[in-house]
Amino acid sequence: MNFCYEGNREILTDPDDEGSGAPSCAGECDLCESNSKIDGRHIQTAEARAKKSKAHMGIPLSPDHRARISIGQLGRAPSEETKRKISEAKRGKTHAHTPETREKISTARRGVPSPHPRRAQTPETRLKLSIAKKGIKLGPFSKEHRAKLAIAAAKRTGEKCPMWRGGISFEPYCPKWNNDLRNRIRAFFGHGCVICGKTQNENSTKGGRIRRLHCHHVEYNKQACCDGKTVHFAALCASCHSKTNRDRVRWESMIHIIIDEVYGGRSYFTKEEYETMHATGEHK
């Protein structure tokens, strides 16, 4: 015996059931006219399945039901056809989480190691990648591509950017932050990057233009020298300086250790020291 879902009655699917009083289903169901029998099994048509799917749409599954489905799917890999259909159904669709859901996910994952840790590339691999990419220039981009880049950038500007700090980049620097102070900072560190040791001559653009080392506010305080707070600076190459904009607590702590242990807690020459160096020719 089998069951007619549409007619809500048992039907005959086995010759041995003859005489049982149940209606037979030879090809088309005489009750719902939407099901058919294949190899003794009562099979629903696409129309019947669509009706059931629509009827169940929006009805949440119970935890027990979900658990049974999960157990039933264990060890079953979807076919290539199924994967293709899933891919086509999801193409162009985005699943945007609500702020509450994002906060829950963030809290749940906080402190949990990434399941996809980044593998460190060997020096040989990095050298091969560098050689392979030399001479390759991006662009010129098409108008459509530039428009897409502009839209993507607009979604990560201002308060939408994960590095947003309340607009502090628009705050003015202390008036004492001038070229004279920056030159004294570079000279104090021997015109070399505090982190990687790259010299000023090595701090060049891809086109070969030499750039002066950047002077970094270790405490990220733009009013340093003016507000009376403790101040430290560091000479950095362009590459290392860009890294300090992320994970600021870590970089501040690390550069403080370097300044304290290597440079005795100092980070620039006084005006008198710098003038004496110029007078004696000791400056670089």
Distance CA 272, CA 104 (A): 56
- Residue partners of 259: CB distance under 8 A and separation at least 6: 194, 218, 232, 234, 265, 266, 267
pLDDT range class, residue 154, cuts 50, 70, 90: confident
DSSP string, 156-170: TSGGGSTT--SSGGG
Query: What local confidence, expressed as pLDDT, does residue 40 receive?
Result: 53
Average pLDDT, whole number, for the chain? Answer: 79
pLDDT range class, residue 66, cuts 50, 70, 90: confident
Instruction: Reply yes or no on whether the pLDDT at 17 is more than 50.
Output: no
pLDDT range class, residue 165, cuts 50, 70, 90: low
Mean pLDDT of all residues in 93-102: 80
When mean pLDDT is compared across 8-22, 190-204, 213-227, the lowest value belongs to 8-22
Q: Which residue has the higher pLDDT, 275 or 154?
A: 275
Decide: residue 151, CB within 10 A, 0-12 exposed, 13-18 middle, 19+ buried. exposed
Instruction: Reply yes or no on whether the pLDDT at 272 is more than 70.
Output: yes
Instruction: Reply yes or no on whether the pLDDT at 2 is more than 50.
Output: no
Q: Scanning the structure block, which residue is given the tokens 């707070």?
A: 229
Write down the H helix ranges in the chain. 46-56, 63-73, 80-90, 99-109, 123-133, 143-154, 179-188, 238-243, 248-262, 271-280
Query: What local confidence, expressed as pLDDT, does residue 168 receive?
Result: 67
Mean pLDDT of all residues in 88-112: 82
Please give the structure tokens belonging to residue 274: 């710098």
Q: Scanning the structure block, which residue is given the tokens 């629903």?
A: 44
When mean pLDDT is compared across 33-42, 45-54, 81-90, the lowest value belongs to 33-42
pLDDT range class, residue 261, cuts 50, 70, 90: very high
